[in-house]
Structure 1
Amino acid sequence: MVPYPTTGPLVLDGGLATELARRGFDLSDALWSAGVLADAPEAIEAVHREYFEAGADVAITASYQASFEGFAARGYSHDETVRLLRQSVALAQAARAHVLTHARVAPRTLWVAASVGPYGATLHDGSEYRGDYGLDEQALVDFHRPRIEALLGARPDWLACETLPSLLEARAIVRVLREHPDARAWITFTCRDGASTSGGDAIAECARILDAEPQVMAMGVNCVDPVLVAPLVRAMAAATDKPIVVYSNSGEVWNAVARCWEGTATRFTTYLDGWIAAGASWIGGCCRTTPDDIRVVRARLDTA
């Protein structure tokens, strides 16, 4: 793992699946954007390039919903799944090399974060927004271990352990991290309100516990309604000096039965000043956000 930034703002990318859908890919499959890893990897690399060119410092890989169980259901072997997981990292690394080589971004350091999605993402029932898996911590350790090992084998700069609904799952991931002392990760939660994770944990307590973990380099929230972000950030910032990460969705709600987004979208960029004032410094977008949003984030953080 390379040294990671400890001060200053950082711009994350936006919705990967959103851009793939805009380019005509059908993401209704249970693998979601991870299915494109096998079918059209060049499209994923192109989206990473677009986000870097829009001003992102960090590309988050297309491994969020990739799992050994999910790929096995599509007929892929264990070794083939390892290859696809590592390919997700390689595609982001290739995009970074391309834009740097062709001088298509302002001179700056670009990073690749390997996405580690929650167990609930493999269930296809929206439980990553509830946390009601019925699994204990050891079962979650056993689920996350092989995927994290495969991703680390591709040498990302760090892991983006994201959309976690509970402190229980965060604890499980930390246990896996300890098996890889050189690994670093950010951990971000989904939340039910301005004070609690989706599973009901106090977000301030999550921050306090993760602050004591040296391999957790940053923490925050993602795929939450932008309206909820500022109080969540304030609560976390009061419990840690580590960077606070925010990448919200558009404010719409995922209907896991109909497999579509519902509700009214809002441009999360209108909330940026409040998030920065609350203590957020690593900011990007999640579902239903675009490269245009990231251009706005870049411009705002450049003046922060």
Structure 2
Amino acid sequence: MGTALELMGHDIASSPLWSASMLERDPESVLNAHSAFLAAGADIVITNTYQASSEQFARAGTNPAIVPDICRSAVRIAAEARRRHLLLKGSSATPPKIALSVGPYGATLPSAEEYDGMYPPPFGPHGVPPRGSAGAAQSPPPAPLSNLEKRAEDALYDWHLKRIRIYSDVPDIWSEIDIIAFETIPLAREARAIRRVMTTLFLEHHAVKPWWIAFTFPRGELPQKQYIGGPPMTAQQLIDAVYSTANELLVPPAIGINCTSPPAVASMIVGMTCAMLNVVSQSPMIKPWIVVYPNGGLTYQPGIRKWIESEEGRSGEDWAKGVIESVGSSLSRVAEGPGDGKPLPWSGVILGGCCLTGPTEIGLLSQFLQDA
């Protein structure tokens, strides 16, 4: 949504709220952006709330008393876009879904920390080297979920729960939301915190909405390390953290990849699918969807808050075809290799686009999927 608004000519990069700044400043443009995606063929629209957090509104100088209403207005705007879309399409049209976008804690930090997961205490363990430092010498992996790690997870749980309650505490807003999309998550402990949040909501409401956790792999790997100075967390470690049944937490009905460059998506799908096969072999009742919505292939530069295009440029048609080919070939590779003929561990696939993909790219993706 943010980069789509930028492509429409809106200057939002200078605001700490990024696209959420438009909720108060120009809600009609947000509605028009949703409508453009729906007209292009989107089955799911994501609310303009990725960076709509109390921290970001405070940096923007917004009166704290009106922040909850501004956040909720994003849901109302998406619902109005859906209503208008259905009026145009007629009663036989399938209603598109509204997904509440919930960004990571790192999106509240000044240097796009969702892409490296370097959270300050209490949201990250003490002793994590700051951005640009040489880092600590390699050390053996600590005991699982050390006290500092647990403290960080607790802080993330409190932060995400407070944010979700802005919507869940208001029935007419909550009823408009079909899916909760936790996006661009860089850390397994944040995923565990999110599972705790959704379990709390389930216990309170005696029901739970569909939800997913989408991770970012900015350099073709999860930002989280196995230990300070160590190698990146593996796909199996990540999947185990999200789908462990040992702690009686809810598991997400879908898991995925977002805001990752298209070339890096294929290896991540292979790794996650192989890891999920291991989980399904132990817990056959678990069979989630996989959600894949890469970015447009550009590189984000936090220092200048801009996306940098590669020398060869990009084509919306090439992007859409590339996403479909990447996902299809990756799943086939697992089925024919490590899967050894076993059924794939996914109930289905959801495809889309993240930053620098607009209605044109989504329209092409929808068209190619229908033609396939």
Cα distance change on mapping 1:88 and 1:215 into 2, 3 Å: farther
Q: 1:158 is matched with which residue?
A: 179
How far apart, CA to CA, are the structure 2 residues paired with 1:103 and 1:192? 38
Counting matched residue pairs gives: 288
Structure 1 segments (4+ residues) deviating >6 Å: none
Selected match of 2:314 from 263, 266, 277:
266
Residue type at the aligned position of 1:107: A
- The answer on 1:173 being equivalent to 2:173 is no
How far apart, CA to CA, are the structure 2 residues paired with 1:295 and 1:78? 38
How far apart, CA to CA, are the structure 2 residues paired with 1:277 and 1:97? 37
Return the offset for 1:106.
8.2
Helix, strand or coil at the partner of 1:64: coil
How far apart, CA to CA, are the structure 1 residues paired with 2:189 and 2:86? 39
Q: 2:74 is matched with which residue?
A: 88
- Structure 2 residues not aligned, in runs of 5+: 124-151, 203-207, 225-231, 277-286, 332-347
Q: Is the 8 A contact 1:236 1:244 kept in 2?
A: no
Helix, strand or coil at the partner of 2:201: coil
Helix, strand or coil at the partner of 1:162: strand
How far apart, CA to CA, are the structure 1 residues paired with 2:103 and 2:85? 27
- The answer on 1:207 being equivalent to 2:235 is no
Return the offset for 1:192.
4.2
Residue type at the aligned position of 2:179: W
The more displaced of 51-60 and 241-250 is: 241-250
How far apart, CA to CA, are the structure 1 residues paired with 2:9 and 2:369? 31
The more displaced of 229-238 and 57-66 is: 229-238
Output the TM-score relative to the length of structure 1.
Answer: 0.88
Residue type at the aligned position of 1:251: G
How far apart, CA to CA, are the structure 2 residues paired with 1:303 and 1:234? 25
How far apart, CA to CA, are the structure 1 residues paired with 2:20 and 2:33? 13
How far apart, CA to CA, are the structure 2 residues paired with 1:269 and 1:208? 31
Return the offset for 1:215.
4.9
- Structure 1 residues not aligned, in runs of 5+: 1-15
Residue type at the aligned position of 2:303: V
Q: 1:10 is matched with which residue?
A: none
Q: Is the 8 A contact 2:196 2:250 kept in 1?
A: no
Q: Is the 8 A contact 1:99 1:105 kept in 2?
A: no
How far apart, CA to CA, are the structure 2 residues paired with 1:87 and 1:81? 10
Helix, strand or coil at the partner of 2:85: helix
Helix, strand or coil at the partner of 1:133: coil
Larger Rg: 2
The more displaced of 209-218 and 283-292 is: 209-218
Higher relative contact order, structure no. (Cα contacts within 8 Å, ≥ 6 residues apart): 1
